[in-house]
Amino acid sequence: MKMKAAFVTDVGKVSIEEIERPSIRDDEVLIRVRTVGVCGSDLHLFRGTHAFRKPPAILGHEIAGDVVEIGKDVRDIRLGDRVTVEPQYGCRECDFCRQGLVNLCSSKVVPGTAKWIGVFVQYFNAPEKTVYKLNDAVSYEMGTMIEPLAVAVRALRRATVKEKDCVVILGAGTIGLLCLVVAKHLGYRKIVCTDTARFNLDMAIKSGATLALDPLETDVVDAVKKLTGGKGADLALVAAGAANILDQASACVRKHGEIGVIAMITEKIPFYSYQIVFNEQTMYGSMTYATNDFREAADMINSGLDLTDFITQTMDIDHTQEGLDILSQKKEDVVKVMIEL
């Protein structure tokens, strides 16, 4: 049987094509896709700047839908379950898989590659172990938000600082705003967000930020120092790419503070490392999520966390091109674009 799929056929170009529905293995389920999220990380391939992936490809990895078929070895998932998918699985044998760090497995399988179809399709197959049930009260849209929320959960869980006086989040797009939500949840008292777009700054304030600053208008480091009595923030999270962003993060942070880098900055940018040495700061990277982080994000949503405000545009699969263009060119105020099928 045929289904629609949105292919990125060339840099900046999407075409809707009819392809065969995926068949399922014994340990898999088939999901009728209801909503998929357009993600900042989908833009790297769309713009032709991805470190190694090139068109043609079916993008997407944020999904919610209904289970319409189950393989014979599937145990806990039933027909009709409303679900989301952790869009990765590992080899289960390497050192990282053994520690639950699927995100670091060199043989991990992710959607939109030769081994697994992307989610901009009407039907999506997934191994049962990657499937998470949604409570009845959770909308498909919120189910789809579990994946980006898991990115934020990991970024904050990777920090080892004990004090939770102040966190600075550089960039208030989807990921930055979700970091704000998780930081609040974990009990950070002062949360400073930055962004160059007015709409995103307003969204940050609406979502509970203590301060929301445009780095082109305000001296962010100065403002953070004032807010923390001269000390600096305990933690800074980098959720936007800009040439000065690592220096800015480090300058905002106190001695023995930490800097978590989430943004995928694929070109080399300058970095004043002495600042890190002098203040004995620690910098870490945060790559997607481990299964624990995904489960924690799913629990937050299943417990009623509502992120509806972050969904700024919804459209059907035939408008996938428009969805990617809106996010890529920021032609409109945008946080999360949802495709509904």
Q: Report DSSP letters for 212-256, one per residue.
A: EE-TTTS-HHHHHHHHTTTS-EEEEEE-S--TTHHHHHHHHEEEE
CA dist., res. 81 & res. 83, Å (int): 6
**Residue 242 interacts with ligand NAD (CB under 6 A)?**
yes
Task: Please identify, using beta-carbon distances, which residue of 25 and 50 lies nearer to ligand NAD.
Answer: 50
The CB density around residue 135, as the number of other CB atoms within 10 Å, is: 13
When binding is defined by CB under 6 A, the residue of 37, 111, 215, 323 that contacts ligand NAD is: 215
Q: Report DSSP letters for 295-332, one per residue.
A: HHHHHHHHTT---GGGEEEEEEGGGHHHHHHHHHHT-S
**Contact yes or no for 190/204 (Cβ under 8 A):** no
**Residue 81 interacts with ligand NAD (CB under 6 A)?**
no
Per partner kind, with CB cut-offs from 5 to 8 A, the member of Zn ion, ligand NAD, none near residue 200 is ligand NAD
Per partner kind, with CB cut-offs from 5 to 8 A, the member of ligand NAD, Zn ion, none near residue 91 is Zn ion
CA dist., res. 243 & res. 270, Å (int): 7
Per partner kind, with CB cut-offs from 5 to 8 A, the member of ligand NAD, Zn ion, none near residue 97 is Zn ion
Residues 102-131 contacting ligand NAD, CB under 6 A: none
Interaction pattern, residues 150-179, with ligand NAD; x per rule: CB under 6 A: -x------------------xxxxxxx---
When binding is defined by CB under 5 A, the residue of 29, 30, 39, 64 that contacts Zn ion is: 39
Residues 6+ apart with CB under 8 A from 87: 61, 62, 63, 110, 111, 119, 130, 147
Interaction pattern, residues 277-296, with ligand NAD; x per rule: CB under 6 A: ---------xxx--------
Shortest distance (Å) from residue 109 CB to ligand NAD? 16
Task: Please identify, using beta-carbon distances, which residue of 236 and 240 lies nearer to ligand NAD.
Answer: 240
* Closest residue by Cα to residue 182 from 300, 280, 265, 278: 300
Q: Catalog residues that contact ligand NAD under the rule CB under 6 A.
A: 39-41, 151, 170-176, 194-197, 200, 215, 239-242, 245, 262-264, 286-288
